[in-house]
Amino acid sequence: MIEISHLTKRYGALTAVDDISFNVEAGQVLGFLGPNGAGKSTTMKMITGFLSPTAGSIRVCGHDVEREPIAAKSCMGYLPEGAPSYAEMSVRAFLNFIADVRGLSAQRRRARLDDVIERLGLAGVLEQVIETLSKGFRRRVGLAQALLHDPQVLILDETTDGLDPNQKHEVRTLINAMSKDKIIVISTHILEEVDAVCNRAIIIASGKILADDTPQALAARAPSGRLDDVFRQITTGAKPAREKEVAHA
């Protein structure tokens, strides 16, 4: 379980995340939604231990992220926005490096490398230098490193950014297959992705949680039944489009 209590992050006079609390349990795929600057990535960086909170606490799989960082991080796989990696490494060398960092034994390393290479379709680019890969393949390599140690918790920031429609479908299918026994948190601007893979959605703006429900229940708040209308209404105060207006849009 992820347990977040009164989490706050301030940068001087700016409050990026403002006293938020929520839990995420196994089997939940949480879509973490919000406009640019809402506090999504900041929250994810605090969950994964890349940023320290100003106040509040985070526990992942029973481990306090601040007090037990190594134990907490061992439970997590993290794909940051932009999928940073070592551009001068080949794909094979990079994944082996991640296996070393994660302390995988020789037998488990082989099994896990084979698994992520097959799942993410990386066999054809293993010897290619990462900086020469397309944006879509770099994203796949980033997802592979997040999955390599088969973590209980996955934190994915803009998971399908740069992928073509077929690749997006493959990644969404993969997330659905993994969701039964994992905790998955996905930050995305693509609302159709929330409908495709998430069974819960949190909408955040100005560092505060404004909604927390299933995607279907949120969409039902708008006469149009569209999640994007509800998102606009919640984050900007805009009136949701009526079905007649949508039909003529």
Residue with tokens 């920031």: 157
Q: Let me know whether 156 and 71 are in one domain.
A: yes
Residue 58 lies in a domain: yes
What's the pLDDT tens digit per position in 148-207?
A: 999 999 999 888 877 788 888 888 888 888 888 899 999 887 788 888 899 999 999 999
Q: Let me know whether 17 and 139 are in one domain.
A: no
3-state secondary structure of 21: strand
Query: When comparing pLDDT for 77 and 247, which is higher?
Result: 77
The residues that bridge with 31 in the sheet, in sequence order, are 186, 201
Q: Let me know whether 127 and 159 are in one domain.
A: no
User: What does the DSSP assignment read for 138-162?
Assistant: HHHHHHHHHHTT--SEEEEESTTTT
Confidence of residue 69 (pLDDT cuts 50, 70, 90): very high
Q: Let me know whether 112 and 64 are in one domain.
A: no
**In total, how many domains does the chain have?**
3
Q: Let me know whether 57 and 161 are in one domain.
A: yes
Q: Let me know whether 228 and 244 are in one domain.
A: yes
3-class SS string, 29-65: EEEEECCCCCCHHHHHHHHCCCCCCCEEEEEECCEEC
Q: Let me know whether 71 and 1 are in one domain.
A: yes
What's the pLDDT tens digit per position in 227-239?
A: 989 998 898 865 5
Q: Let me know whether 11 and 110 are in one domain.
A: no
State which residues form the domain around 129.
85-150
- Tokens at 210, concatenated: 């404004």
Residue 34 lies in a domain: yes
pTM here is: 0.86
| CATH code, domain with 184 | 3.40.50.300
Q: For 1-20, b where at least 16 C-beta lie within 10 A, e where not — what string?
A: ebbbeebbbeeeeebbbbeb
- The single-letter DSSP state of residue 184 is E
Task: Round to whole Å and give the CA distance between 239 and 102.
Answer: 48
Q: Let me know whether 209 and 229 are in one domain.
A: no
